[in-house]
Each structure stands twice: as C-alpha cells, then as structure tokens.
A and B are shown apart, each in its own frame.
Chain A
Amino acid sequence: MTTAHDVEPMVKANAICKNFGSNQVLKGIDLHVQPGEVVCLIGPSGSGKSTFLRCINHLETVDGGRMWVNGKIVGYDLKGSKLYEQSHNDVCRSRSEVGMVFQQFNLFPHMTVLENLIEAPRLVRKEKKAEAVARAMTLLEKVGLAEKAQAYPRQLSGGQQQRVAIARALCMEPQLMLFDEPTSALDPELVGEVLKVMKDLANSGMTMVVVTHEMNFARDVADRVVFMADGHVVEQGPAREVITNPQNERTKAFLASVLSEPAAA
C-alpha cells in the first residue's frame, strides 16, 4: 500500500492477462503511469498494445491481474476486503474520467461537430447546454476547428475528424487520455496536424497513453516508451534512449524495420 506522501500513479497495471479464446494476448503486463506523464506503447502488430490500452478503460475485461486508474480498481468496487463487480452504469461513470481516441475516429455521423462534443457532457454529466457549448467552442478553438462547429463529420478531412475526436474526448474533462493509433488511418500529409494537437496537449500537462507507430512523435513528445511484443513488455525507458539506443534484440529489430521507412513524418 502506498503512503499518503507518495504520488498515486494515474494508471497502475499489475500482471494484466487477457485471452481471446485460447489465444493469450496479454501475458502479465506491469505498467505504472504517473500523473502528467506521456507514455508511448510501441511494438509490432499483434503484440497486444491496443488490447492493453482498451483494458485501461474497461472496453476489454481483464482475465488476470488488476488495473487501477486514478487510485480506483477498474471494473470493481472495493468494500472491506471484497471486490464487487460494477454494474454497467457504474463502469460508464468511471469511464467518463478517461478520454479515448480511436484509429477510425468514430465520430457520430448524424450529429454536427458541436453536437458530437456536447453529447456526452449533456447525457453523462447532465450539464446545461450553454455551459457545454461554451467549453466545446473553446476546445474547437484549441484544435483549430471553431469554424467547423456546424459541419457534419463527413464534410471534414480525416485529420480534421481526428482533431474533433480529440476535442470530443477532452470535452468530458478527463484526467487521462488514451490514444489508439490515432494517425494510422490518415493520409500522410494529414498526420502532422493531429500530432501537433497531441503535442500541445502533452505540453499542457495531460496524462497520456499513446499506442503509435510514429517514432518521431514518441521520441520527441513521450516521457517514456514501452516496447511490447507477444503480450510482454520487452523493454521500457526514457523515450529518446529506447528509440535511439535500444538494448533488447527484438526492440532493435523492430526499430530498424520501422525507422528504415522513409514515411516517418
């Protein structure tokens, strides 16, 4: 147990295991993320990065180990020494403190940009419309899309849609932001505008866990890089160190194959 003076980690994962049928995707992941820290998860596809990210906000249930977010066990209420599984609505309430950005943006296509942003604050936090709209407009300003407030998602480019998705997640004023390959579905020339928004967010002190293939972003923005392979954490450390001078053989091989691509923005 931590003492009062220790800083409680924003994310504390202990020996997280996850199976899909007979296939074990996560084989005991330990990871702590401190408040204000930016952690990039890198690794080959199928290494379990995205699955682990989805375990953090309980989009996937874990089959073994324990996950804490902001000092609370994910998916359970602790009373005395007993863990009570949370009802769906309680899970939802805790999720609202964690923002998530998806590879495919997943904006609501039948709502305008502004409606996308104020939907969750209105439904989940029962906010007044004027209040939610005011915050939404500030956030749209921040991601440079204030003039698109009344547009529908289909009328925007991929990069603009992803910036809206980030603003939508921020509109719930989360304490932690999860990014699941936020630039993988974008045309190369649109990647930069999304990374810039994420960099600004990191500089503002947001705690972020980012699954990404953008090694330059990981090196320049992340505090720490975690390399995963086959459901294990293979290597982790300060971002620049891991990327420029990897120690593990698998990390070396992976980085060599990724960095040789000229596409890195």
Chain B
Amino acid sequence: MTAVTTRTEQAAATSDGYTVVKAKHPGRWLSAVVIIVIAGLLLRSVITNPNFGWDIVGLYLRDVSIGRGILVTLGLTAISMAIGIVLGVIFAVMRLSANPIVRSAAFAYVNFFRGTPVLVQLLFWFNLAALYPVITLGIPGVQLDANQLITPMTAAILGLGLNQGAYMSEIVRAGILSVDHGQTEAAEALGITRLQTMRRVVLPQAMRVIIPPTGNETIGMLKTTALVSVISVPELLYSAQIIYARTFETVPLLIVASLWYLLITSILTVGQYYLERRFARGNQRNLPPTPLQQLKRFFATHDALSLKGGKK
C-alpha cells in the first residue's frame, strides 16, 4: 500500500488492474449552483422585504373568520364534488345508452356546461331571480320565491356542481369504456341485470381509471371555489378579502389564504395516493409499499441489525 493513492482511486481499481475514472458532469454542477443561487436570492428577498408582513401572516393564519372560511371552502368542495360525481355517473351512463335521444341530451348537457366559463355560470345562477322571479317547477301549487331560494350559497353549489358534473361525466365514461367487454358478457351470462352489472362489476373496475383524474378534479375544485367570492359567499378567499378591506393588509392576507389552500391540497394529494392503492387491488399481484411502510421497514431492518450487533 502506497500512501499517495487516494480512496476513490482504490475503490475504482478493478480486478484486472485497470483504474476506472468516473465521468465528470460539469453541466450538472453548474445548473445546481445556478438554481441554488437563485433560490437563495428569492428566499432572502422573501424574508427581508417587510411588505410581506410575515408577523401579520402569523397573526391571521389562525384567525377565527379565516377558520370559518376554510370550513365553507371544504364544505363547498365536498358538496359540489358529490353533486358532480353523481351527475357525472348518470350522464356517462346516458352517453352510452342505446336511445339516441337520451344520448344527445347527455351530450348537450356536457357541451353546454363545458363550453361556458364557470364564472359566467355562477353569475347566471346568482341572478336567476331576474330570469324566473317565481319558480314553479311546473308543479301546480308550487310557488317559490327565487330571491329567497337562490342564496349566494345555493347559487355557488348549483354552479359548481352542475359544471363539475359535465367534466366528471367524461371521466366516468372513459372509465366505463376501459373495462373489458368480456366482464359485461360474463355477468350477463350469469343472469345479472344490466344495472346490477354496472354497479357491481363495471363501475368498481372503472374506478381504477376514474380515481386519479377525480383526485385532480377535487384539488381543482378546492381552488375553483375561490371564484364564488365574486357572489360574496364567505369562503376562504372572501374571508381574507373582508379582513384586508378593513385593514388594507392585502398581501399578508392573500398569503394566509394561499398557505391554507396549499396545505389542504397537499393533504388531498396524500389521500388520493391511498385511494388509488385501494382500487388497484386485484390488478397488481403485489402493491409496492407506501412511503410510510418503506420507512417502517427501514427502521425495522436497522433495529434487527443493531440487535444482532448487541448479541455478539
């Protein structure tokens, strides 16, 4: 052993006597340095610029009216998505119907609600009273005052739910079409009716295709609910707006709202991961371990190793 050989050279020497020199990647180093410098500059300005008002952000992050706004946002997201999913399944099945009128009606619905901006739809629902001051639903004896019936909240739920139904129906339709026709045939041969086949055989398998985009849609919906601030529904953004209209601390409160949106979407992303795993059952022989399981396994093996070492 000569004292001059460095560790890397020792490691790289192969059994047949050659010394292997690893390729250098100057480009990688350069791009990493550039990005770290830019990130550092950004971070510095975020910390040192007093206009961000981090102390105010910290103050309002746990404000009661912001908290109420979050609850409204979550509730609105859940209800609108629920309506959207139910409508989506109904219209997807209609799109695949043998009846051409039923098929066209579903297509017209999807086309209308996908083809107009959701903001315009929300304003329409909000101003429904101008179009139909009295809602009778065509049933004799039913006389509903549109001004009382269409509160900002109902307008928001109708607007978001109906719009989401159009998008969901396309997602559900793709899912249904992804299921092998042999499945329907096997169910039919067993005497299972069409509706039961859809519910018990086709839809559960379509879920694998439906879940990932639905997760994206849910995250999208959470952010779209911010639009209903224009019809003064007190959700997260509107709650922040009410505060900064009074205190003029616009930027800190927009940061408060953004941080909350970011936190909730992050949680939803984790939820989506586990949901996808659940519906992959039966399609993969062995599911890969979750990050949590990987972590547990990592510590388990290391415990075992240290125990062995201790016994020696």
Contact = CB atoms under 8 A, between A and B. Distances in A.
Interface of B: 180, 182-183, 185-194, 196, 200-201, 204-205, 281-285
Given A59-B185, A95-B188, A106-B185, A88 B282 contact: no
A92 B282 contact: no
Nearest 3 pairs of A and B residues by beta carbon: A96-B191, A106-B186, A120-B190
Contact of A88 (B182, B187, B194): B194
B178 to A, nearest CB: 13
Contacts of B185: 59, 102, 106
B281 to A, nearest CB: 7
A115 to B, nearest CB: 10
B192 A119 contact: yes
A96 B187 CA distance: 10
A149 to B, nearest CB: 15
B190 A168 contact: yes
Interface string A96-135: 1111101010111111000000011001100000000000
Given A93-B191, A120-B191, A123-B200, A152 B282 contact: yes
B183 A108 contact: yes
Given A59-B185, A102-B185, A102-B186, A110 B205 contact: yes
Interface residues of A, number: 33
Contact of A124 (B190, B194, B282): B190
Given A107-B186, A119-B192, A124-B192, 20 more contacts: A59-B189, A92-B192, A92-B193, A93-B191, A94-B191, A95-B188, A95-B190, A100-B186, A106-B185, A106-B186, A109-B205, A110-B281, A110-B283, A119-B190, A124-B190, A124-B191, A152-B282, A153-B282, A155-B285, A168-B190
8 contacts: A59-B185, A108-B201, A110-B205, A119-B200, A120-B187, A124-B190, A153-B282, A172-B190
Contacts of A94: 191
A169 interface: yes
A154 B189 contact: no
Contacts of B188: 59, 92, 95
A163 to B, nearest CB: 15
